[in-house]
Chain A
Amino acid sequence: MKLDTNTINKIAKLARISLSKEEANDLLKDMNSILDWVEQLNEVNTDSVEPLANISSSTLPQRKDESKDINSSEEILKNSPDKLEGYFAVPKVVE
């Protein structure tokens, strides 16, 4: 599998990263060499193997349905560059 510049630019756009032409070209080279390396795995026949997302043998830890009153407003908004009456204020999102 080979990536082209369009795919690089699309990925950059989805990740909201702005790339110069040179950066896109550098990344194209890097990512293609990573893909080449990963493609060695194609030498193994995996037809009857389910995809493995996690190698841990433990099971998903669960918690009880208990809520904690945290009154988080002040702490949560502390780093916000702009806020109003307990809300985050962000540039208008127009749909």
Chain B
Amino acid sequence: MSNFVKGNKYEWEIVIGLEIHAQVKSNSKLFSNSSTAFGSNPNSQVSLVDAAMPGMLPVINSYCIEQAIKTGIGLKAKINNYSVFDRKNYFYADLPQGYQISQYKYPIVGEGKVSIDFKDGSSKDIRIVRLHLEQDAGKSLHDQNPTKTYVDLNRSGVALMEIVSEPDIRSADEAGLYINKIRSILMYLDTCDGNMQEGSLRADVNISVRKPGEDFGTRCEIKNLNSIKFIKQAINYEAKRQIEILEEGGTIQQNTLLFNTNSGKTKPMRSKEEAHDYRYFPDPDLLPLEIDQKIIDKLVKSIPELPDERKRKYAEEFNLSNYDASVLTADKSVSDYFDSVIKSDKALIDSAKIVANWITTELFSLLKEKNIEISNSPISSEYLGKLIKLIKENIISGKIAKDVLIEMFESKEEPQIIIEKKGLRQVSDTSEIENIVDEVLHENQKMVEQYLSGKDKLLGFFVGQCMKKSKGKANPKILNDILKLKLSKKN
């Protein structure tokens, strides 16, 4: 698959590297014991450490260290037994310390890789350069007042994992797949809640263009994107901008950009004279972080099944296609739901494909309509399993089952109860179906003649009429057989 894009004159290749900032899932902050809960009253979760009051000292949260190590293991990366916390110095209203505690030369996690899956069943590895731990800053509100910026320090000091990729990504779509995959791995590991709306997962995009086969071009960095849709828009806009400049004989200025989500355009964030000089140096308040290999070995054993392993299992045990399996496993809660439907009844193991379809089409559309997460689905996995079993056993048709599913979604009742209450049980009694067929053929004698003179397509019309008479309850296979038999006898 070629990812080259056409400019007016030449073909170009987009080169992208991503820095993902993932908020560590923990109760308290990286260096203080104030809460990380989202949506609390402004400045209510700010300890004297977070507010950088003089004399306060940071003490590291051991769970955040474990979370970073687990994430590193999930990214198939090297865990460093020795890492160092540095100060990254800059002034901003939502950074009380005047520096961010981060890791520069010695990060906690080194090189790793993740694999992304394409629709055509192929996949590609994206290499990870490093993962390091750092503090988040506070939140600034710029649009509430014409002359003031409002600052909430609740987020100040919350632990982040910055995950840096190699420039291995070649298109906006690949960038989307990569972020989705990272998000999926983090959520399986339970090291980040993956909530992009609440800012738990944000990305900086480094992007340049080059003619295929040439060296990397000058790159620009688009800061702080918090949705996959915006990331893709920003990449496509920025690539087009750079290509236009180069094709007109210009050069790209290395720059930090912001993406305006209303206009869909990127614009420079700071002019070059003010380019940041962060003056990193080891934080004198924190000793180097030395991790005992035993702790790492113990965490390796605690790693749950990850999306790639589940995907492989679905393909092998349930005979699902690579694509179906990747759709099901991308979101852990969907995959868990699928697993528990299958587990609810042994008879469903060889119907995995049907279960997958009912989840990803019918159930998804109901959930989406009401904006409900699958983990809160009004239809339990057990009841969905029962419904699918009823279809398999020919007690109801697939078509009726869709109506039953809607009913289950609203009433939370068992499918059997709904079927009995509404009399939806499929009619498989041949004599009853024979009566219906006789009636329909009798009422449509002209059509019967036309059919007999060669208009085969009318069979569908007769099936439809019979179904209507049975209120959709006739077993379609039996109905078809009887209809064909009766019509052939008329000949």
| A63-B33, A66-B27 known; A95+B258 contact, CB < 8 A | yes
37-68 of chain B: CB within 8 A of chain A: 41-47, 51, 59-65
B interface size (C-beta, 8 A): 51
Per DSSP, chain A at the interface is: loop
37-95 of chain A: CB within 8 A of chain B: 53-54, 56, 58-73, 76-77, 82, 84-95
A62–chain B nearest beta-carbon distance, Å: 4
| A62-B65, A95-B258 known; A73+B44 contact, CB < 8 A | yes
Determine if A14 and B277 form an interchain contact, defined as CB atoms under 8 angstroms apart.
yes
Of the 9-residue stretches B139-147, B163-171, B371-379, which lies at the interface with chain A?
B139-147
Neighbour of B44 across the interface among A54, A72, A95, CB < 8 A: A72
| A56-B287, A71-B44, A72-B43 known; A82+B148 contact, CB < 8 A | yes
A79–chain B nearest beta-carbon distance, Å: 10
Judged by a CB distance under 8 angstroms, whether B351 is at the interface is: no
Most B CB within 10 A of own CB, among A73, A82, A84:
A73
Contacts of A93 in B (CB 8 A): 92-93, 140, 142, 149
Contacts of B45 in A (CB 8 A): 70, 72
Determine if A84 and B150 form an interchain contact, defined as CB atoms under 8 angstroms apart.
yes
| A54-B287, A92-B148 known; A66+B44 contact, CB < 8 A | no
Judged by a CB distance under 8 angstroms, whether A16 is at the interface is: yes
B150–chain A nearest beta-carbon distance, Å: 4
A21–chain B nearest beta-carbon distance, Å: 21
Of all chain B residues, the one with the shortest Cβ separation from A58 is: B287
Judged by a CB distance under 8 angstroms, whether B286 is at the interface is: yes
| A66-B27, A90-B93 known; A76+B46 contact, CB < 8 A | yes
In the assembled complex, the Cα of A66 lies from the Cα of B277 at a distance in Å of: 35
Most B CB within 10 A of own CB, among A53, A77, A84:
A53
Determine if B35 and A76 form an interchain contact, defined as CB atoms under 8 angstroms apart.
no
In the assembled complex, the Cα of A62 lies from the Cα of B41 at a distance in Å of: 28
The digit string for B298-332, where 1 denotes a CB below 8 A from any CB of A, is 00000000000000000000000000000000000
Judged by a CB distance under 8 angstroms, whether B119 is at the interface is: no
Determine if A68 and B62 form an interchain contact, defined as CB atoms under 8 angstroms apart.
no
Neighbour of B27 across the interface among A67, A86, A87, A90, CB < 8 A: A67
In the assembled complex, the Cα of A64 lies from the Cα of B59 at a distance in Å of: 10
Neighbour of B51 across the interface among A60, A76, A84, A89, CB < 8 A: A76
Determine if A76 and B153 form an interchain contact, defined as CB atoms under 8 angstroms apart.
yes
Determine if A66 and B28 form an interchain contact, defined as CB atoms under 8 angstroms apart.
yes
| A65-B63, A72-B47 known; A91+B148 contact, CB < 8 A | yes
In the assembled complex, the Cα of A14 lies from the Cα of B282 at a distance in Å of: 18
Contacts of B46 in A (CB 8 A): 70, 72-73, 76
Determine if A72 and B34 form an interchain contact, defined as CB atoms under 8 angstroms apart.
yes
Contacts of B152 in A (CB 8 A): 86-88
Determine if A89 and B150 form an interchain contact, defined as CB atoms under 8 angstroms apart.
yes
Determine if B26 and A60 form an interchain contact, defined as CB atoms under 8 angstroms apart.
no
18-49 of chain A: CB within 8 A of chain B: none
Most A CB within 10 A of own CB, among B27, B149, B290:
B149
Contacts of B269 in A (CB 8 A): 95
Judged by a CB distance under 8 angstroms, whether B118 is at the interface is: no
B453–chain A nearest beta-carbon distance, Å: 78
In the assembled complex, the Cα of A86 lies from the Cα of B150 at a distance in Å of: 9
A: residues with CB less than 8 A from B are: 10, 14, 16, 53-54, 56, 58-73, 76-77, 82, 84-95
